[in-house]
């Protein structure tokens, strides 16, 4: 149990910084990640995170509205079992790829601008822009994007079969 609490805190801090969300919302997400498909009830979240009903309720509502979590019910049981939306990783990867494409396009514009400036300068000028970083960064973005696309495809196919 101590290991779980420590991991929830560590993962929560990471999510909080990465997603720019409230600390308790991040810890709810961390708890749901570690709980898995079985889900966790509202009362169990209150106990596990030692937070008030109203605070947990507010963050659950916010996370549902943000399409990060959902819930299911069991026949004959009045409780809601909260879980991470199954394709949340796919959504995250899609957003990451979109951001990387914007960065890629921006670096192409920067390269083009710097090449134009370089053409106006003497070949031995100290002011000539070195374009190596941009080309290396573009190569990295292309390789990373291809890897993420491959993983996203695999997750999408697995999600369809579940």
What pLDDT score was predicted for residue 86?
79
Mean pLDDT split into 10-residue runs, the chain, 162 residues: 92 91 96 93 96 96 94 92 88 92 96 95 90 95 96 86 72
How would DSSP label each residue in 113-124? HHHHHHHHS-TT
Other beta carbons within 10 angstroms of residue 78's beta carbon come to 6
Q: Quote the DSSP letter at residue 72.
A: E
What pLDDT score was predicted for residue 155?
87
Return the CATH fold of 2-84.
Answer: Arc Repressor Mutant, subunit A (1.10.10)
What pLDDT score was predicted for residue 119?
94
Segments in the chain forming alpha helices (H): 2-19, 23-35, 42-49, 53-65, 88-120, 132-161
What pLDDT score was predicted for residue 124?
87
| Confidence (pTM) | 0.73
What pLDDT score was predicted for residue 138?
96
Q: Report domain extents, the chain.
A: 2-84, 88-161
């Amino acid at each position: 149990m101590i290991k779980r609490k420590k991991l929830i805190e560590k993962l929560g801090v990471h999510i909080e910084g990465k997603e720019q969300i409230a600390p308790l919302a991040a810890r709810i997400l961390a708890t749901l990640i570690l709980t898995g498909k079985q889900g966790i009830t509202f009362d169990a979240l209150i106990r596990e995170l030692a937070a008030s009903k109203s605070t947990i309720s507010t963050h659950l509502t916010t996370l549902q509205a943000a399409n990060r979590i959902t819930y299911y019910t069991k026949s004959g049981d009045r409780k809601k079992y909260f879980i991470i939306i199954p394709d949340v990783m796919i959504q995250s990867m899609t957003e990451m790829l979109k951001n990387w494409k914007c960065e890629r396009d921006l670096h192409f514009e920067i390269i083009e601008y710097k090449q134009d400036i370089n053409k106006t300068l003497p070949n031995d000028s100290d002011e000539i822009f070195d374009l190596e970083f941009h080309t290396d960064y573009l190569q990295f973005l292309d390789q990373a994007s291809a890897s993420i696309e491959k993983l996203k495809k695999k997750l999408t196919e697995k999600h369809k079969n579940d």
